[in-house]
Structure 1
Amino acid sequence: MDNIAGQKSGLSWAVNISVVVMVVLWLIPTVGLLVSSFRDRDQISVSGWWQAPFSIEQTYRGRVSTDNPSREGDLYVLTGNIFEEGEATGTLNAFGTSGRAPTQYPAGTVADLGDGATLTIATNGDYRYTTPEEPGGRGERIYFGAETPPDFSLQNYRTVLSSDGMDVAFINTLTVTIPATIIPILIAAFAAYALAWMEFPGRGLLIAAVVGLLVVPLQLALVPLLNLHNKVGIGQSFVGIWLAHTGFGLPLAIYLLRNYMVGLPRDIIESAKVDGATDFEVFTKIVLPLSFPALASFAIFQFLWTWNDLLVAKVFLPSADESKVMTVKIADDLLGSRGGDWGILATAAFVSIAVPLVVFFTMQRYLVRGLLAGSVK
């Protein structure tokens, strides 16, 4: 009874669990990037994104204010609040006067600093510093650890989206990506149909050449291709990068589409030819509509790769600000000038992948269908 046709397999639960696990593993880094984009640099540096909803302990430093000292006998007394005089917030746990031991003394205790000087800091940040010597221009250095509450804001997004040239870089990325996705699909569709259903000398060699080109690293062709573009007058231009992405994407596109088209029902195509249809009519009216899943699957790959590309954009586009795409803008400006500002980098990365995520979730139902159809040939 277990093998009755139409009955669900007993391993369907394993398939469902595997799919859920893969989806979760794929979403974890995206969720982490999204959460980090709303946090500041200090919180990111001391805790992971999964700890974002909880308070964290951070170490700060400041100075005792030397304004308006008072006298108590032979001692000078300086008071104030360490939180009000700096950028730190939260509840103070411990303090110290050395970077080697920033939390040497618990909050509320009186620390003997030597030479008659003492320091005490309460949990709310109020401090009292006494010294027998008249305070100079710079007060005593204070290190302290504070329990900082979660802090989420849109400041990182304001910084990224309002940075000079980011809007131009977004438009440039669309200008590069859309034609670089459409052009190879158009060329590859015609080539795949010819290799799948048309008989001509050398077809087997062309198929072998396409398969061989799949394993050739694109880095090998960057310099020769750029020299060729310079000779024909399209070097470092949008036309040049369109053709470069087209050339690099064609082998995979032809391979996937040809394998898919070979699996289409032969009776339909032969019947159309018997009725007098030309190869062009068969291609446009029968093969192309039936091949939409394969076309969509490659479009997802090509769009994601082109949108996230940095190397080809650095080689085939001018270095001027008006020609930069988002990946170059982030790498040159945000990453170059803010290498330690992780919040800015996480925000810039998430802004960069927002459009590819929309494209992927919109067309992902075609991805598996198109890939599986071309993988079993």
Structure 2
Amino acid sequence: MPDYALYLLNEDGTNSFLLKESLKDDQKEIEIPIPSKEFTREYIQKGGVFYHFNEWNSHFIRYQLDDNKHMVAVDSIQFKDGYLENYLWKGDTDTLLLFIVEKKTTARARMYMVDTKEFKLIRDEALPFPASVADFNLLSIGLVDFVDDKLWMAYCYSKVLTIDDYTTSDTMYYATLDFSSFDIVNLQKDTRSSYPGGINTVQSYSFRDDQGDFYFMSCPGVALGNNLSKPTAIFRKKAGSQQVDTSYMLDVSERILNHAYGFWYVGGQKAIIRSEQRDLYTDFSNHHSVFQFEYYLVDLATKKLEKINIPLDKGTRKENVLVQDGYVYFGIDSDGKKHEVWRYTPANGKTDKVFSASKSVNYILRLDFLK
């Protein structure tokens, strides 16, 4: 099994994995085509095993790479009709928690608990949240955390404005559930921003730092919450607490005058964010295709931001940041049909290009470590 996988969207509309022993130009690589309706970039990967919720038939499927380097479905579990919004590994175990919002109502949600070793469903629970708040009737499960047999969840409500526009309410909700009974034991409301987190099979929005504090980012920008009056911001839930720390908020939009999407931990109280540039795109229709995205190193303690010297990127939401061994690797799609992996050293700010993919690629959508 190679160590790394780049998930690619190619110019002809096909998807493929590019498997590499290391993220360098001179290393052997294998490309694996992916059938478009069977597997998407919205997957969960652990130890080289891939899990995917197929929204066409509501099956949760386990995939592996066979000896011929093909992606093969080896098992599946039937779920109810829905959209997978978030997942969480329950501690250091093979137990996977999946949070799915029903398709028909887009307002009711369920948790499925799967034993991935035996690959069987071991629990199915309805989440005890209201179907709507006022006329905001679209529920989003943006963040999940598990501490001391308590399930903590951040969610919000949106509504459709026109056939091609929607917005999110001004309130974020943080609920703590007793994991045994699924009763809500604490509910906290926060109006400092909107749209906490997002679909984490597409992009990361939270992490736990070296001290065990849980940090997360809100995403009210045009690509997610579409409540532009609210700032993109970083929040904290301290170790051992089920309450968000109301004394801490890092207002990202105030510092860079833009919204951001994506949040990855580097270590040592430092994180990476990926920000749009409002003056470079017209509206959501060309948001994904404009070379506009910048990356910043964020100091969570001092609240300072430092722009990273790499080319402007395209693609609205990507899981293209990998932190490993003191380096940060970025899958960048830049002007001139360049699709490259860049390496950044937070200790000294140095950046260098380590790999170039074929020009027939359109996007590097994901960058995964497979071990």
Q: Which has the higher strand share?
A: 2
Higher helix share: 1
Higher normalized contact order (CA 8 Å, seq sep 6+, divided by chain length) = 1
* Structure 1 length-normalised TM: 0.18
TM-score by length of 2: 0.18
Q: Computing the radius of gyration over CA atoms, which structure comes out larger, 1 or 2?
A: 1
